[in-house]
Amino acid sequence: MTDRPLARRHVIGTLGAGLLATAAATLPATPAAARGHDRPARTDVLIAPSSFRNYRRFENTWNYHYPWGDTHNGSVRMVGGPDDHRHISLSDGVLTLKATRVTDDDGTSMPPWNLPIRYHSGAVHAKDQVLVDDTWPVWDLRGEFQAPSGHGTWPAFWITGVDSWPPESDILEYKGTADNWFNTYQNPDGEWSSSIIAVDRPERWHSYRAVLTKVSATDVEIRYYLDGELMGTHRGADFVGRAMWIIINLQMEGSSGTPGPETDTYYRARGLYVARSRP
C-alpha cells in the first residue's frame, strides 16, 4: 500500500503451470545432467483457490490482522478472529472484508501516523511467505477482487518484507479513485515504480496478478496483469532472498482522502492462488 513520500512500512514490514509449460516449450532442451536430478522442473502451490471455501481451510492458510498488529497507516483498527466474523467473513468461496464507521474513542493508529481510529475493518495475511531465490526463482500471485474505490477507501492486495522494508509489491491498491496502483519499491534507482491503471467499475469482479522472476543475484522482474492483460513490468532491487508477507486488507482514509464514507464499505476476494516454480 503506497503512502509516499513517507517511508511508511513497519520496520520489522509463478508462473502458473500452464504458463510454465508454454515457456518451457519455447526453450531448447537442457540435458538432465545439466539440470541436476535433485532439481526437477515443478510448480508448488502454496495457496489454492479453495482457501476461502470454509473457515477450517481459511484458518489453516491465513492469519487474522496484519502481521504486526491491528493498525497501520490509515484510520482503521482491524477486528476479527475465529470467534468474530463481523469484519472478516466467508460465504460461497468469497472472502469479505467490511469497514464500519465507529464513533467511540478507540485510540489511534500506529506511529508515525497516529491517526484517530474512525473505522473497524478487516485484514488477513498468509501463513506462507514469498521468498524468491535459486530454489524457487518464479512466483505467481493472483486473485479476483471486487474493490471499493470511493473517496476514503483504500483496499489492497500486496506483499512486503518480513524483516525489512523495502521490499514491497502492490498488486491491487485503490486510493479513493478508480485507478489501480501497481507499485514496486524499490527499483534499481532506489525509487518507486508505478503503473497506474484506470479500471472500469472496480466494484465488479476483476483479476489481478503479479509474476516475480529472479533475474540476477539480487533483483527480480515483476510483471503485473489486470484481467489477463499485461499492465506493467518493473524491476525490484534487492528482492532476492528476502521473505515477504502476503496481505489482503481494507484500510480507510489515509492516502485515500478524508472524510471516508459513513456507510459500510465492502471488499471481496475469491480464487486466491499463490505458487512457486523452477525451470
CATH number for 176: 2.60.120.200
State how far the Cα of 174 lies from the Cα of 172, in Å rounded to an integer.
Answer: 7
Q: Tell me the CA distances in angstroms from 158 to 2, 30, 123, 184, 235, one per residue in order.
A: 10, 35, 12, 10, 16
Mean pLDDT over residues 85-102, rounded? Answer: 98
Assess whether pLDDT exceeds 60 at residue 256. Answer: yes
Assess whether pLDDT exceeds 50 at residue 78. Answer: yes
| pLDDT at residue 279, rounded to an integer | 85
Mean pLDDT over residues 12-32, rounded? Answer: 36
- Summarize pLDDT for 172-202 with one digit per residue, the tens: 999 999 999 999 999 999 999 999 999 999 9
Report residue 214 as a C-alpha cell.
529472479
Is 59 labeled as catalytic in the residue annotation?
Answer: no
Mean pLDDT over residues 126-140, rounded? Answer: 98
Does 127 map to a domain?
A: yes
Catalytic residue among 168, 203, 229, 253: 168
Does 201 map to a domain?
A: yes
Q: How many domains does the chain have?
A: 1
Report residue 102 as a C-alpha cell.
465507529
Contact 10, 245 (CB under 8 A): no
Whose cell is 489492497? That residue is 156
Domain that holds residue 189: 43-278
Is 221 labeled as catalytic in the residue annotation?
Answer: no
Mean pLDDT over residues 109-136, rounded? Answer: 98
Does 157 map to a domain?
A: yes
| Among 262, 218, 210, 160, residue whose Cα is nearest residue 14 | 210
Residue-averaged pLDDT of the chain: 89
Assess whether pLDDT exceeds 70 at residue 222. Answer: yes
Does 220 map to a domain?
A: yes
- pTM summary value: 0.87
Assess whether pLDDT exceeds 60 at residue 205. Answer: yes
Bridge partner list, 43? 277
Catalytic residue among 59, 144, 173, 253: 173
Mean pLDDT over residues 76-92, rounded? Answer: 98
Mean pLDDT over residues 211-218, rounded? Answer: 98
Q: What is the DSSP letter of 49?
A: G
Report the amino acid identity of residue 7: A
Does 99 map to a domain?
A: yes
Q: Predicted confidence band at 3 (pLDDT cuts at 50, 70, 90)?
A: low
Contact 52, 58 (CB under 8 A): yes
Does 18 map to a domain?
A: no
Does 13 map to a domain?
A: no
